[in-house]
């Protein structure tokens, strides 16, 4: 059987394949031979990352053993490093990259590191497409058109600070949600909060460690309800499959700005009933969730790295709230008629751990979410697992986890994006 070959990079960053060794996947630092159903062509919009201070691991089918590649097989004088894929949106990883770290290895930046190989003239990755929605597919983004639209709107609405902030997100950071805003389609972002009541290890908008940088600046002001509506109402009124979402990567926790958001939602819903108003949140304040639902909020998405209290607390470092509050927020949304999603950070070896799966099933039974977004956890896997003090145990495999969830909860949808709930726009 033709299996993907190992890929590695030399010290200058050039990437090569080495057919003598097979691509290998990692599951909480346990190495696995890759099976045909585990790989897919590397989707467009994915990136390849070099992993400094880490030696790639391959499988030698002749010797039937895993092997660490520490020198370039074609020139042993050259050191090598491992390579990983940062998969495009809408894709869930099945295995992370397999490597052996040097004792003093530097921390990897806040991205996900999926196993990657080479087969039949192209890169393949150990992942699957979990959501068919194309809203963040690279082929839909024309950067020049988006920049023209963003600059025109920033000029036209120069007094709206939120438009200026999102213009920078679209042009500088390439945020897909901000880009779609300036293309008047699908899901648009509504960041509001400079503050947060958690201190996530992998926070992408604020990092206190000196050896880890946030991937985007956090918003520095709280927009007014008018500024929020200036962005949201035209989008809700015009965009195909319109969704506007509070709670973005470039902010803290939106529930801390509940009064502002409630006023904005009420104004949006006085203007139009079209589209979906969504809140991405850490779920810390269930009473505020109820108040926003009363004002017209249609859906919430609560982020979880784990369905187990101790691992949740070790990652989120909550300030003034508990895991019980998070569950209460999902229940609060459901009891107020809103659609509830879990933003489930996926890390092979942890997420498909048998005990984690059982805890997730208990949480679904208890809180009745409608949707689980299977999003890859953007963090250095070794550092994360050490930081939350996780001991690898028996695992299901990510694909089997997905199958079991569907069997156990036929009503539960699995995907990646906040759905547009407005049936008139389907």
Nearest to ligand SF4 of 116, 198 (CB atom): 198
- Which one of the spans 65-73, 75-83, 196-204, 261-269 is the region binding ligand SF4 (CB under 6 A)? 196-204
Please report whether residue 227 would count as binding ligand SF4 according to CB under 6 A.
no
Residue 109's nearest CA partner among 7, 211, 11 is: 211
Least distance to ligand SF4 from the beta carbon of 324, Å?
Answer: 17
Please report whether residue 325 would count as binding ligand SF4 according to CB under 6 A.
no
- Which one of the spans 155-163, 173-181, 197-205, 255-263 is the region binding ligand SF4 (CB under 6 A)? 197-205
Tell me how far apart the alpha carbons of residues 349 and 393 are, in angstroms, rounded to a whole number: 8
Please report whether residue 4 would count as binding ligand SF4 according to CB under 6 A.
no
Please report whether residue 190 would count as binding ligand SF4 according to CB under 6 A.
no
Please report whether residue 283 would count as binding ligand SF4 according to CB under 6 A.
no
Among the listed residues 92, 114, 136, 205, the single contact to ligand SF4 using CB under 6 A? 205
Nearest to ligand SF4 of 56, 191 (CB atom): 191
Nearest to ligand SF4 of 158, 317 (CB atom): 317
Among the listed residues 253, 353, 356, 370, the single contact to ligand SF4 using CB under 6 A? 253
- Which one of the spans 74-82, 91-99, 198-206, 327-335 is the region binding ligand SF4 (CB under 6 A)? 198-206
Please report whether residue 200 would count as binding ligand SF4 according to CB under 6 A.
yes
Give Cα separations from 6 to 66, 98, 100, 233 (angstroms). Answer: 11, 10, 14, 50
Burial pattern 48-81, b for ≥16 Cβ within 10 A else e, equals bbbbeebbbbbbeeeeeebbebeebeeeeeeebb
Please report whether residue 196 would count as binding ligand SF4 according to CB under 6 A.
yes
Please report whether residue 203 would count as binding ligand SF4 according to CB under 6 A.
yes
Please report whether residue 198 would count as binding ligand SF4 according to CB under 6 A.
yes
- Which one of the spans 42-50, 68-76, 200-208, 377-385 is the region binding ligand SF4 (CB under 6 A)? 200-208
Binding-site size for ligand SF4 (CB under 6 A) equals 10
User: Site residues (CB under 6 A) for ligand SF4?
Assistant: 196, 198-200, 203, 205-206, 252-253, 282
């Amino acid at each position: 059987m033709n299996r993907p070959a190992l890929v590695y990079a030399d010290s200058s960053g050039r990437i090569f394949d080495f057919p003598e060794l097979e691509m290998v996947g990692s599951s909480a630092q346990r190495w696995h031979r890759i099976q045909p159903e585990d790989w897919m062509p590397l989707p467009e919009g994915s990136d390849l990352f070099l992993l400094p201070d880490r030696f790639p691991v391959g499988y030698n089918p002749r010797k039937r053993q895993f092997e660490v590649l520490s020198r370039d097989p074609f020139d042993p004088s050259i050191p090598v490093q491992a390579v990983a894929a940062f998969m495009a949106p809408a894709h869930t990883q099945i295995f992370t990259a397999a490597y052996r770290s040097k004792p003093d290895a530097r921390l990897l930046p806040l991205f996900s590191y999926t196993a990657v190989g080479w087969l039949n003239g192209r890169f393949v990755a150990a992942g699957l497409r979990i959501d068919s929605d194309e809203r963040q597919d690279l082929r839909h983004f024309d950067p020049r058109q988006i920049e023209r639209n963003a600059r025109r709107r920033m000029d036209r609405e120069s007094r709206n600070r939120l438009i200026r902030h999102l213009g920078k997100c679209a042009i500088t950071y390439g945020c897909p949600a901000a880009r779609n805003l300036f293309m008047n389609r699908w899901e648009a972002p509504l960041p509001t909060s400079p503050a947060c009541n958690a201190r996530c290890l992998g926070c992408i908008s604020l990092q206190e460690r000196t050896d880890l940088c946030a991937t985007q600046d956090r918003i520095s002001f709280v927009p007014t309800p008018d500024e929020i509506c200036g962005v949201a109402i035209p989008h809700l009124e015009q965009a195909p499959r319109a969704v506007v979402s509070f709670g973005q990567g470039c902010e803290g926790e939106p529930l801390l700005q509940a009064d502002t958001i409630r006023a904005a939602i009420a104004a949006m819903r006085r203007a139009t009933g079209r589209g979906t108003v969504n809140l991405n949140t850490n779920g810390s304040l269930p009473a505020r969730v109820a108040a926003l639902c009363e004002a017209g909020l249609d859906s919430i998405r609560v982020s979880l790295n784990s369905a187990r209290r101790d691992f949740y607390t070790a990652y989120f470092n909550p300030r003034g709230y508990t895991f019980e509050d998070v569950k209460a927020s999902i229940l609060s949304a459901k009891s107020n008629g809103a659609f509830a999603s879990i933003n489930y950070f996926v890390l092979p070896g942890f997420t498909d751990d048998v005990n984690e799966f059982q805890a997730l099933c208990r949480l679904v039974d208890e809180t009745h979410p409608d949707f689980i977004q299977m999003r890859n956890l953007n963090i250095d896997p070794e550092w994360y697992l050490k930081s939350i003090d996780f001991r690898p145990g028996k695992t299901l495999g990510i694909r089997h986890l997905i199958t079991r969830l569907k069997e156990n909860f036929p009503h539960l949808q699995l995907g990646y994006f906040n759905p547009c709930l407005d049936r008139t726009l389907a």
